[in-house]
Chains A and B, each alone.
Chain A
Amino acid sequence: MLLTISDWLQSTWLSHAFISQGRWAWPMCESLHFMGLCLLIGSVGMVDLRMLGMAKGIPVAALHKLVPFGVGGYLVNVITGSLFVVGDADQYIFNDAFRIKMLFMLVAGINVLFFYSSAFQKTKLLGPDDSMPLNVKIMAGVSLTCWIVIISAGRLITFYRP
């Protein structure tokens, strides 16, 4: 089944279009993928650190204004990441590092939905020097851990080529 998916992805118009862009398309998308990662850490990661107790004096709601730029970085990475998978499907679909990365993307995604549906409204109202409730600290810790694992597993993909 996976082989069928992999073959199908590589037979798509998008796969051919990306691969035929010449030798610099791939490295440029990798560079964009790295910049997207930096945007994500520089926004979501810093809000996580603030919620874990660092940088008191900054209201979470104020720092959270950076998050849309992290979401922008995330979207850049979804697009470039999808191009990698479509462009060279069998290198990813059968790759254990890629699978771990996807698993933690899922955990991070569930954590995000959980945070914004449960604790965010109350967190936004807290003052600049307030400590966060324990459930918020746990969600921030899960978020930061997930992104660190995702970056690590992502960087390891090239060493686990099938």
Chain B
Amino acid sequence: MEALFIWIETSPLSLWVRGESGWHMAFPIIIVFHALGMGFLVGVALAINGRVLGLAPQVPLGKLRQFLPVAMLALVVNVISGILLLIGYPTKALTNPVFYIKLLCIALALWNLRWFSYSVLTNPIYDHGVLPQKTRQLATASIVLWASAIIAGRLLAYTYNQMMSI
């Protein structure tokens, strides 16, 4: 595993991310995109969950589907920026259990969002009125998962055991 980390860390892309190939702004700019992507992805998810839980009841639930392209663009931005950050510091992330907790929370939250977008937002009977209890529980679970992903992500800066293998 360490050989793989060293191979990644000595690659030109990894050096570029860490600002070791002359341009120091790559890392800060990637981090900024990661934060903006988080804001829009989690923001749209929270709005959908909030509506499912009964906030803003006059919003036709299915019409919120129109915000999903924003969330999906934000997801693409965060997958790309996240992979670049991982290429910059593979040892730091992959030797920290908190990183896997973060990925698990995101995977479950995205699965949840996918279920809502295909099974709830497409069904016109849910456009108005109160949603079934199971659906509302899943919306609560989504909020908890996104909050956990954010906490785990922020803790990555404080809980790593090893920064680099090289």
Contact = CB atoms under 8 A, between A and B. Distances in A.
Contacts of A69: 50, 55
A156 B32 contact: yes
Interface residues of B, number: 37
Contacts of B58: 59, 61-62, 65
Task: Decide if the interface of chain A is mainly helix, strand, loop or mixed.
Answer: helix
A41 B39 contact: yes
Contacts of A58: 59-60, 63-64, 66
B31 A151 contact: no
B114 interface: no
Nearest to B65: A55
A31 B151 contact: yes
Contacts of B38: 34, 37-38
Q: Is the interface of B mostly helix, strand, loop or mixed?
A: helix
Contacts of A54: 66-67, 70
Q: Indicate the size class of the contact surface on chain A.
A: 35 or more
Given A35-B150, A37-B39, A42 B63 contact: no
Given A34-B38, A38-B42, A41-B43, A55 B50 contact: no
A74 to B, nearest CB: 13
Interface stretch (A3-11, A43-51, A99-107): A43-51
Interface of A: 23-24, 27-28, 30-31, 34-35, 37-43, 45-46, 49, 54-59, 61-66, 69, 128, 148, 151-152, 154-156, 159
